[in-house]
Amino acid sequence: MAKEKKNTKNNILLIVIIIIALIMIGGGVFVLSKKDSGSKEKLFYEFKDDETKVVDICKKEGCGVPSQDKFVFLKVKDNYSDIFNNSIKEINEETEKYYNEVKNSPACSNDVDKFYHSKFVDVQFENYENNYYVSITPIYTITDLCEMKATRPAIKTHIYDKTDQKLLTQEEFIKKIGVSEEEIQQAIKENNELIKEEEKIEIMDQTFDDYLLFLVSDGSVNVAYSIEGNDMYYTATVK
């Protein structure tokens, strides 16, 4: 039952919950997941506060969404610079891309007096470190304010193996953690049952080949995958 609740939370297009959560953290749309790290000092990166970029979203108070979309850029700490410089550069470039998309998005024709822009982007960083791995997985959720619909593009993870002293490919990571194809497909199948019930959509029984495994902040291994005809990459707990 605990696993089902966790998967449901990750997967359902509940824009109301997203909005409430973002308002509670101060009106921004940058969410840092740090359940495992506990504090910013334990992360292998830090925030480049002087480079934070902000886009005003609401024209007036009480518009029902966060008033600003905040884009925070990262800097690798010295002891990890050789390992994660390219990864953090890639993440920052992705953040810059979404910043420009939000900044340049027009107002909604059906809400011209409500929003300056038609899009906002939320990013959650799933960070994890133990004696064997250090990882970061940015998860972007994009909301169309005109339609009030959220989408999530393909997820990319960056996992460093402390023993082998290198960033792992998906094949290497799956082999290292000993997860079988059967376990992955079973996690997806169980998750799809929840999606069908919650979202009232049809999902054909099939083998999902296009997936990605990554570590989340509590140390669990999750799988990210897409369903044909749906613009949301879903996640499910494998182990």
For residue 131, the tally of other CB atoms under 10 A from its CB is: 6
> Strand order of the sheet with strand 233-237?
211-215, 221-226, 233-237
CA dist 238 and 28 (Å) reads 31
The pLDDT tens digits for 122-164 are 999 999 999 999 999 999 999 999 999 999 999 999 999 999 9
Predicted local confidence at residue 33, as pLDDT = 32
* pLDDT for 61 beyond 80: yes
- Residue-number span of the structural domain to which 154 is assigned: 2-237
pTM for this model (two decimals): 0.80
The pLDDT tens digits for 207-228 are 899 999 999 999 999 999 999 8
The SS3 of residue 18 is helix
For residue 118, the tally of other CB atoms under 10 A from its CB is: 19
* pLDDT for 69 beyond 90: yes
165: left (phi over 0), alpha (psi -120 to 50) or beta: left
Q: How many domains does the chain have?
A: 1
The SS3 of residue 58 is strand
* pLDDT for 65 beyond 90: no
Predicted local confidence at residue 132, as pLDDT = 94
